[in-house]
Structure 1
């Protein structure tokens, strides 16, 4: 009995020890799960029983200065899933992935990969239309799937496609700003996401009495730009035409500013792109060529050529447009007055001979203002020499050329100057060579010439406001420094007006508007090898009270009109200035010369349904001639139709064709009037029974219809004239 009792005790002891060990192990395991892994499992349980979905905020709107929308966010939808809930409620996850991929036009393997993830939230596809969202809702309901959600989303949209593309910029897949204002002001525009927290049971079904907890989104703030949509369109239209007319190979830029405030009213850079498809094949590259390029090649093309804002990122030699700066400095220093006697005889600096651009026929003795009109290089070299290196570069710095402007645009470049300039460096710099600046720096300096001498900080944003219209931040005009006096500004304005009225800038002349400006033709590192030049024209108007500055740059023109800024860039600036001044309501004030020219134009009266006798009297009052086209020439015959039509502007002495029988208008062959003067072209057209609509002055460089084209008899034909003997 004693042995049996001992054996029982031993077994009990073993059992006790085993139980104790088991209890300790269990306690350790429970403790490890609760303490060490507790937070992890709590998170897993929470994710299984709750779906935390993110609701994207509505990105702020970008407006032009007048409240026109340039970038907006449209309401769309997105499909998101809770992968665990989808797996638990799906009978066949591969089939589920296949069906969802088909609805959303996605790759099956990508959808399946997300369903298999061990997370509580995955975005399947963003920015889908409501119709597609409804299909997903129905599909999920029909298949009794849990964890599939269709939530609100936003999609960025640019209503004007490529208008101001480089200024506005664009957003990426996650609605973050990648370029332009979209990138620089991303923190203001993007807003703060909201959340939807949905409770569910153990198998993923939404609890019948559970509540969705929502954390509201904070939508982004709105940005109001200084850009004027209409002026931007004027500049873009004129630049596109100039690129085509002059076969410009390396892009172009145009900037329009208000010199009184420093506000940028328009900024165009070419080539550009569609903001709604910034990664698509750019103009000039076919879809097939684009597809053959590697991803790296495509991105290099986009970054270096297409998305590059030439107006602020590229530097160039300003050429003769810089002469206005040298002239202003010389007048401010008292070295020159408008009437100081000068000449354009060659000057030798450190062994380098510097000639006037018209060395084949020098201008000779002239006044300083005439030297500016004629753009004579030696005149500016001697002015700079009289100032000396220190004083000359003091003004270069004061006009803002040594530092970035600080404009809030992506990638503003720094200018390039000699660190320790010597005499010859200053000599060539006086007429805009051997240093590089940005187009924005130049037009900003011209603003100081125009506004009384104040260098302004360029502004691209007017204000930031919330959705209720409350202003969060306002950008006020900021004077950087005073550079020249009011009197010097007045004198330089008058001189630059003379450049346009009688000097090298005649192709920018606008009847009724006093335009001031300076032509420029710059060399590049490729000039000797490829004959690459940069043609430019910098201007402002009206000259006596400037409200707008315009700079036009054409990089590598190869067309029939050559590469001189006065020939090909000045007409572009003229078009932008005229459209802008009319749009702004600036009243025309005509000179005697303008009025004399206007007196040569009349509007054709309506003589239809009149007799020939009545028509003769009416047309005579307008100093117009006529020709009857029909059977006979009876004074009592009625005029059934006429060419030109009523209210068309034509020169006096033009011929109006009167039709006395119902028939189709007769046509004549268009003659070739290129390279003719206004008088010669008028006579040639009149001989053919055609009238003329004169644009510009000088020599005919373009006609509305090609030679040999059949044109209605009596029709006014547009012929553009330009002065070709200019810099």
Structure 2
């Protein structure tokens, strides 16, 4: 009996031990869950008992410097569904799918697949117009369908479409910035999304007695750019015309910067794209096969229309780099503007370097050497400085570093790591190394502003919804490169380049413009050849870099044309006139008054004979007019360069002032284009000229001062191209 009791006791003891151990394990497990996994299980239970729908925050607006909107967020709707809730209602899924697909303009099977998924939440279609969203609301209310949701959302909209595309950038469907300022300023623009929470039962159905909880989204901040919408428009139109006139095959770029603070007023890159449809079909691609999403399509977009040539592309600057060499020589006292130099052939490393002019200029002053852009003059100057000192200035001007501009993808220039005498010789006139356009503009900024290298930037400030400034971007001086004296001397030399030298095609009477031409030959990027974007192995890049007004610079302007398909390409011939007109447009827009020298007045009054271009192709006619220093306007096809000119106004042999307009007709006009003569009385010469030009009319200037009379009364209807004489007189007082 005692043995039996002992066995029972042992058995009970064993059971007790097992129970104690199991209880201890259970307690420890509960403690572990409470302490370490409690939050996870709470979230699991919360998610199981609730259903949430995201409400997008309104992305901040991007403005130009004058508070003109460049990127805005409009109100749209997003349609979503709870398949689990729908499945409990015993609805006709086939019918619902068909009706909803019809409203949303979607494939019925796609909608049906989303509505029958085993999930609590499924997006049906995002970013639909509010009008369509209201149709879904009406349909849902009429058929008393629960489990379909229409929530307010936002969609990015760019009112100016292509304008400043590479600066502004774009977003994806979730409003995340993918490029440009949209990407760089994401943390300020994005905002914090809100939520709509609703309680559900075990099956995922919304509880009828529970209220939805709304967590308000926090809208993003606004970003104000340094860009001026009007100046940006001028720059883009200038590029488009230059590309068309010169059959430019690989795009172009233009940068306008205020050298006093590094603010970018305009930055244009061509080809470009519509920001509202960044994956749209590029020119030359088949719309039937283009998706914009395949690996090949995206690579093509990145290499062409999305490519910001101003900061991504590198190129040989050619003679536009010569002012850097000149700055080094002037700063070190190795030369003065009046030092006698020679452009005789110089031999470096077995290579003869000659002046571009067959009959060399021979002996000249250094100032004249810059005017004439003589390569041997700059080689000899670099030799006076020596390799270490010369490249010290190249580095000081920022060519070994990125500029730090607040745009994505900036490339670094390709510079010599251990430069030799030969490297220095070729670099002195801008060859055998590569830089980005923005690097050159930054360097010219230092020449213009008195010697400070300043970081270029496109963002001016960030403000909240009340207009309070959250972040302000002040000018960042990287270093001092040259003295104010050297800066002033160099500006006067560059003014001479435009006044009497190789840049004279950029001259605008009344404005002091300084600048330098550039032409370089380079090998085509293998990627572009592979993608069949261009078809030749070699290409020319022509450019013109300018400062204006030279006595008090407020503009640095660079225009680069990549691969103009013309005979005898050169920056002075092709790009200088583009930059001159662009500066003219900008300074006039900014209200900078013209101050005419006696030479300017003579230039304004100088007349040329209109050539006969009837029967010629548009391409041939334009070439003849440009050689005669005349501008043109095409009535008819302005894209077909092989179209034949059927008529012209004024007729051949007529006398016009330089830069006047000849209207070309590529069709036999039944009725020639007519315009009303403007009233230019009391206007100065420039304003009167511009008033006529805008209408396609020409002016014959008689006298100086302000207009006192005109040969045709204001309001008279005349043909475009008609010449109207205006008499000007200076106002004098006793």
Q: Same fold (TM over 0.5)?
A: yes
Q: Could you give the per-residue CA deviations for residues 387-423 of structure 1, whole angstroms, max 9, x where no partner exists?
A: 0000000000000000001111110001111211111
Q: Closer, same or farther in 2 for the Cα pair 1:574/1:53, shift >3 Å?
A: same
Post-superposition offset of 1:40? 9.2
Q: Could you give the per-residue CA deviations for residues 568-625 of structure 1, whole angstroms, max 9, x where no partner exists?
A: 011111121111111111111111111234456xxxxxxxxxxxxxxxxxxxxxxxxx
Aligned positions of 1:464-543 closer than 5 A: 464-526=462-524, 530-543=537-550
For the aligned residue pairs, the C-alpha RMSD in angstroms reads 3.4
Aligned positions of 1:223-302 closer than 5 A: 223-288=223-288, 290=290, 295-302=294-301
Work out the CA distance in 2 between the residues paired with 1:472 and 1:150: 34
Partner of 1:410: 408
Partner of 1:114: 114
Partner of 2:393: 395
Q: Closer, same or farther in 2 for the Cα pair 1:519/1:90, shift >3 Å?
A: farther
SS of match in other structure, 1:695: coil
Alignment pair present for 1:593 and 2:591: no
Larger deviation, residues 97-106 vs 38-47: 38-47
Work out the CA distance in 2 between the residues paired with 1:709 and 1:356: 49
Partner of 1:337: 336
- Asked if 1 retains the 8 angstrom alpha-carbon contact of 2:279 and 2:293, the reply is no
Partner of 1:705: 664
Post-superposition offset of 1:102? 2.6
Work out the CA distance in 1 between the residues paired with 2:652 and 2:547: 41
Alignment pair present for 1:319 and 2:278: no
Q: Closer, same or farther in 2 for the Cα pair 1:35/1:180, shift >3 Å?
A: closer
Match of residue 692, structure 1, among 650, 656, 671: 656
Partner of 2:353: 354
Larger deviation, residues 467-476 vs 115-124: 115-124
- Asked if 1 retains the 8 angstrom alpha-carbon contact of 2:341 and 2:364, the reply is yes
Work out the CA distance in 2 between the residues paired with 1:345 and 1:501: 25
Work out the CA distance in 1 between the residues paired with 2:39 and 2:435: 60
Work out the CA distance in 2 between the residues paired with 1:440 and 1:679: 31
- Asked if 2 retains the 8 angstrom alpha-carbon contact of 1:89 and 1:144, the reply is no
Post-superposition offset of 1:305? 1.4
Partner of 2:557: 550
Alignment pair present for 1:567 and 2:573: yes
Partner of 1:8: none
- Asked if 2 retains the 8 angstrom alpha-carbon contact of 1:90 and 1:145, the reply is no
How many residues matched?
620
Partner of 1:577: 583
SS of match in other structure, 1:692: strand
SS of match in other structure, 1:705: strand
Partner of 1:646: none
Q: Closer, same or farther in 2 for the Cα pair 1:578/1:687, shift >3 Å?
A: closer
Work out the CA distance in 2 between the residues paired with 1:688 and 1:543: 38
Partner of 2:704: none
SS of match in other structure, 2:559: strand
Larger deviation, residues 218-227 vs 192-201: 192-201
Q: Could you give the per-residue CA deviations for residues 20-70 of structure 1, whole angstroms, max 9, x where no partner exists?
A: x9xx9xxx9xx99x9899999987775565331211000011111110000
Q: Closer, same or farther in 2 for the Cα pair 1:321/1:432, shift >3 Å?
A: same
Work out the CA distance in 2 between the residues paired with 1:689 and 1:351: 53
Structure 1 unmatched ranges of 5 or more: 1-16, 601-650, 655-667, 697-701, 719-727
SS of match in other structure, 2:260: coil
- Asked if 1 retains the 8 angstrom alpha-carbon contact of 2:310 and 2:436, the reply is yes
- Asked if 2 retains the 8 angstrom alpha-carbon contact of 1:691 and 1:714, the reply is no
Work out the CA distance in 1 between the residues paired with 2:62 and 2:321: 35
Work out the CA distance in 2 between the residues paired with 1:504 and 1:193: 58
> TM-score, normalization: structure 1?
0.79
- Asked if 2 retains the 8 angstrom alpha-carbon contact of 1:693 and 1:717, the reply is no
Q: Closer, same or farther in 2 for the Cα pair 1:709/1:508, shift >3 Å?
A: farther
SS of match in other structure, 1:100: helix
Post-superposition offset of 1:215? 1.1
Structure of larger gyration radius: 1
Work out the CA distance in 2 between the residues paired with 1:147 and 1:588: 69
Partner of 1:428: 426
Larger deviation, residues 542-551 vs 48-57: 48-57
Q: Closer, same or farther in 2 for the Cα pair 1:545/1:532, shift >3 Å?
A: same
Work out the CA distance in 2 between the residues paired with 1:47 and 1:144: 26
Post-superposition offset of 1:106? 2.4
Post-superposition offset of 1:249? 0.4
SS of match in other structure, 2:304: helix
Partner of 1:383: 381
Work out the CA distance in 2 between the residues paired with 1:537 and 1:709: 39
Work out the CA distance in 2 between the residues paired with 1:41 and 1:114: 28
Larger deviation, residues 115-124 vs 186-195: 115-124
> TM-score, normalization: structure 2?
0.78
Work out the CA distance in 1 between the residues paired with 2:106 and 2:80: 14
Alignment pair present for 1:135 and 2:168: no
Post-superposition offset of 1:518? 0.1
